[in-house]
Amino acid sequence: MKAVSILCRHFLAALALWSLTAPAQADVLVDNIEGIRLDDEGKVDRFTGLWIDDGGHILQVLHRGDKRPQGTTYRTDGRGRIVIPGMIDAHAHVMDLGFAQLELDLSDTTSLADALTRIGAFAAAHPDRPWILGRGWNQEKWGLGRFPTAAELDQAVGDRPVLLDRVDGHAIWANSAAMEQAGITPSTKDPVGGRIERVAGSRKPAGVFVDAAMPLVRQAVPQPRPLDYDIALGEAQKLLLANGITAVADMGTDVPAWQAFRRAGDEGHLNVRIMAYAAGLDALETIAGPRPTPWLYGDKLRAGGIKLYLDGALGSRGAWLTADYADDPGNRGLPLLNPAQLRNLMSRASMDGFQVAIHAIGDAANREALLAIEELAQTYTGDRRWRIEHAQIVAPGDIPAFGRDGIIASMQPTHQTSDRLMAEARLGPDRLQGAYAWKSLADAGATLAFGSDAPVEAPDPFAGWAAAISRQDARGEPFGGWMPQERVSREAAFAAFTADAAYAGFAEGRFGRLARGERADFIVIDRDPMLASPDQLGQTKVLETWVSGEKVYSSTAQPSAGGR
């Protein structure tokens, strides 16, 4: 009897929830909007209404003068506001983004002293945390001219381990307590593909660990529990939806992350669509098994590919270059996979129908990725959509190869604006010709898919869109744009953040265009992105976010979630 009444109560609660989300249970007409989308040819199509079925698919895109459906349809008045397709982030790290929301964010610190003050205050505010974790530091932005040290960090926090990721995720800064817990001593050797910074003139670790050396300290951090993953995933989704992102490619999904995605899907909490690229072969085999998973939970989740790291990043001089770093003679960075390893991994994934996404930043890494794709494409024919992630520095002579084998250049426009001065220092003026070369790669025939690389950059597609058309940062620097010949058109950038980002994840026809038969994923924004100046475009505010015809974010309902 008791069990029945509990069941009943659950049922009534479920029923109440249903009625709150009534729009998803009946046809919906979103009318009186200023809709903007791209047609099949990439041209702007303006529309005034969306008719959505009870499964959240678009029945009809209505233009001015089209007859509106009558009868049982639930009608909602857009009050003339601007509506565009939900934005797609083609390269982000969902769990890192979520966990970053729970950690100390140093990305807006202006000096080492500023950072140390903030670290000390954060530790004092969280006395219960056995480890202090954070991210976002950038010694370049501090004007330090060198890496910070453990000794400096010890001044801020000496009683507990502290571990702080560099902004690009390719170096980590530890205090003495963290190094002690990790068992790091002067005799600890640099691993292949990594570097331990040493105190000048000694073997004593100085506190910063680069690329493959990072796990040496990170392994000492207690593993987050499944519940921590669920909390972090919730935070990540909130932030993505508040930024107008309705779908994301998760670049490097590990098993606990996948399990968190599945739990969210099972429980009906997955609102952002996730195209998962497994973090290496072991993760791929555990997550997906012998073939890509089907689309799960109504096109919300799919594991369809593998993410491979061929090199590191420019900031930490881990990117693999064809010639020495201009500001570090004798160093060309490091390949993280040898040619046989790379081809073997690509082959293992391709043979089972998985898509391959290769992280390549330096020109040597991009050349090697292109060569490997060319070889593998002979065996693994058909529609493979080989992805090169970042493609930041490409030797001009290699650019045409991006037009072959249906390659997708998965790039992050805000990296260009953030990295400009650093890239000039690392490469020198003569080797920048193929740097962040969006237009040249597109002209060569590559499909551009744009993203943020969050949490490396904020998951803000409007900042990315503005950078893509201006080659200027949020302050309008540099005047006229950096290498302005590599700007892309407003429409091309729009496509790269929507339809082409969907295509890059084999999701075309499901979402990305606001076309008939697709999922009704759209956002309401406060200005017309086709008319706004780049500066204005970059400051676009997302008012509402809808996924499958359901409103999942409103700026008025959750004022705190939008503030980043």
Q: Which residues bind Zn ion (CB under 5 A)?
A: 251, 453
Kindly list the strands in the beta sheet with 355-360, ordered across the sheet, starting from the edge strand earlier in the chain: 87-92, 245-253, 273-279, 301-309, 355-360, 387-390, 408-411, 447-450
Q: How far is the CB of 167 from Zn ion (least distance, A)?
A: 12
Task: Give the nearest residue (CB) to Zn ion.
Answer: 453
Q: How far apart are CA 424 and CA 315, in angstroms?
A: 11
Whichever of 380 and 386 has its CB closer to Zn ion, that residue is 386
Whichever of 62 and 456 has its CB closer to Zn ion, that residue is 456
Structure tokens at 478: 């540099």
For Cα atoms 281, 188, 319, give the angle at the middle one, nearest 5 degrees: 50
Whichever of 405 and 453 has its CB closer to Zn ion, that residue is 453
Q: How far is the CB of 213 from Zn ion (least distance, A)?
A: 19
Q: How far apart are CA 326 and CA 431, in angstroms?
A: 9
Please check whether residue 464 is in contact with residue 363, taking contact to mean a CB–CB distance below 8 angstroms. no
Whichever of 251 and 469 has its CB closer to Zn ion, that residue is 251
Q: How far is the CB of 453 from Zn ion (least distance, A)?
A: 4
Q: How far apart are CA 46 and CA 65, in angstroms?
A: 12
Q: Phi first, then psi: give them for residue 399, nearest 5 degrees.
A: -60, -40
Instruction: Give just the sign of the alpha carbon dihedral 420, 421, 422, 426.
Output: positive
Three-state DSSP state, 108:
coil
Q: How far is the CB of 233 from Zn ion (least distance, A)?
A: 18
Whichever of 456 and 552 has its CB closer to Zn ion, that residue is 456
Q: How far is the CB of 96 from Zn ion (least distance, A)?
A: 9
CA-CA distances (angstroms) from residue 137 to 23, 51, 52, 466, 514?
Answer: 44, 47, 45, 25, 39
Residues, the chain, total?
564
Q: How far is the CB of 251 from Zn ion (least distance, A)?
A: 5
213-220 long-range contacts (CB < 8 A, ≥24 apart) are 214/170, 214/171, 214/172, 216/182, 216/184, 216/188, 216/191, 217/163, 217/172, 217/174, 217/178, 217/179, 217/182, 217/184, 218/163, 218/172, 218/182, 219/182, 220/161, 220/178, 220/181, 220/182, 220/183
For Cα atoms 103, 108, 111, give the angle at the middle one, nearest 5 degrees: 110
Kindly list the strands in the beta sheet with 194-198, ordered across the sheet, starting from the edge strand earlier in the chain: 104-105, 132-137, 162-166, 171-174, 205-211, 194-198
Q: How far is the CB of 254 from Zn ion (least distance, A)?
A: 14
Whichever of 319 and 532 has its CB closer to Zn ion, that residue is 319
Whichever of 311 and 453 has its CB closer to Zn ion, that residue is 453
Whichever of 148 and 312 has its CB closer to Zn ion, that residue is 312
Q: How far is the CB of 74 from Zn ion (least distance, A)?
A: 40
Q: How far apart are CA 550 and CA 523, in angstroms?
A: 11
Q: 176: which residues sit within 8 A by CB, 6+ positions away?
A: 150, 151, 153, 154, 158, 207
* Of the candidates 450, 454, 390, 451, the residue with the CA atom closest to the CA atom of residue 100: 454
Q: How far is the CB of 456 from Zn ion (least distance, A)?
A: 6
For Cα atoms 230, 234, 238, give the angle at the middle one, nearest 5 degrees: 170
Q: How far is the CB of 109 from Zn ion (least distance, A)?
A: 22
Whichever of 251 and 446 has its CB closer to Zn ion, that residue is 251
Whichever of 251 and 342 has its CB closer to Zn ion, that residue is 251
Whichever of 453 and 473 has its CB closer to Zn ion, that residue is 453
Q: How far is the CB of 239 from Zn ion (least distance, A)?
A: 16
Q: 469: which residues sit within 8 A by CB, 6+ positions away?
A: 487, 488, 489, 490, 493, 534, 537
Q: How far is the CB of 369 from Zn ion (least distance, A)?
A: 15
Q: How far is the CB of 83 from Zn ion (least distance, A)?
A: 30
Structure tokens at 424: 């000039």
Whichever of 148 and 451 has its CB closer to Zn ion, that residue is 451
- Residue 458 has what DSSP assignment? -
Whichever of 251 and 463 has its CB closer to Zn ion, that residue is 251
